[in-house]
Structure 1
Amino acid sequence: MFSLKTLLARKLTLAALLTLGAPLAAHAQQSPTCDASVKEEVVKALEGSEKLNKAEQSKLQESLYAKYKECGSADAAKPQPNDPFFIAARQCGARVTQLGSLFFEEMPCCGYDPQRRTFACPVKIKRPTGFGAAPLPGSREYVLHCVADGSGTFHPVGQDSVHLANSQLSPSWQFAVVANAIDNLDLVQPLKGNAARARSILSWQLQPTDCKYQPIWGNAIDYTIRLDQ
């Protein structure tokens, strides 16, 4: 039999271990599978790629995607359902459909202006580095926008990006990617107040290639837009 003093001592020891373990576990969740230096490698690999033709650019991006895709898939399992990102997405009426690494950037919400045929998406930047040297070359946050047809199949309607670079300031920051719908315009017309399903895909530095694109760094959300006059 243990004395009351011994039992109390063991309980206090256990409580101390749990208290110490909690911040350690939380800290572990804040460590990406691939740190900022890996993202800097991607920046360097793509530096000057704008001088290549489209076929060569696509081949280079495909090779980088294959090399670093585990950076996203490993981190995608880390956020919990009660993570502020998922809460923000739900509050925005959005559903997260593709998830990559969220340690450097995230996009929980987007909106659409039907009169201007313009999408606007705030992108939260969560780390000071991992975006390329300032002011150049820096890197880009790409967002591809898709709208579903009557059968529920998504088709691309527009894409754009915002440039950013490393900073000595403390994050977080809210950037914004603004893009006009220029393709498959029949999906966003006519303006009769009808609803449509939209999907927006955030991908750092590697351009999304289609509406099922799985970003390495970033995420995709589905949400409802309304085509009001």
Structure 2
Amino acid sequence: MLALRGVGRTFPGTPPVEALRDVDLVVHHGDYVGVVGPSGSGKSTLLHLLGLLDRPTAGDYLLDGTPTRDLSEADRSALRGGRIGFVFQSFHLLPHRSVLDNVLLATLYSGVPRAERRRRALEALERVGMGHRLDFLPPVLSGGERQRVAVARAVVAAPRVLLADEPTGNLDSANSAGVLDLFDELHRDGLTLVVITHDPEVAARAHRRVRIADGTLREVS
């Protein structure tokens, strides 16, 4: 599904910063991959490349067999919107919009009628255990609840892969376990997951683990 071949990412500067170098990684349909490494190791850069939020400066990235490096921004956006869901550490929910509205906004440009979009949003929120909080605003929710809403927003468009960047970084241990249990459920339902984390316990939930350090990647299990 996702294939990085000799990928590098260098940021300009004096001197230039080589964030990733010669990275090879294949993620198959149905995989649950944990990418673990310390702060500054290149984890977020890797996620941005996998999510088509950035372009490599070396190597190739194929998504479902499609080379992406030279695609136009419009084509990359369409590919990203149709196949990739994102969950971030900071939730990125709109504070003055309801839980339901936050999820509905993720379907706004889908071309699907509003009634169907609403049905899908309600289904996604029920799936993550947030169907009883539809009219709540994010600031009154716990961190774990906000992250569940963020997961619902990520999966409402039925992506083929979910990319999560430190998804438990702002949560206590109980809420972290709840979010990871939810990831387990989504994976059992067939969703492909790639979870970026500095926490070995979070990575241990994955079925495959790779370690990144100083911009280089190696499979550890």
Q: Please report the TM-score for the alignment, with normalisation by the length of structure 2.
A: 0.29
Query: If you compute each CA radius of gyration, which structure gives the higher value, 1 or 2?
Result: 1
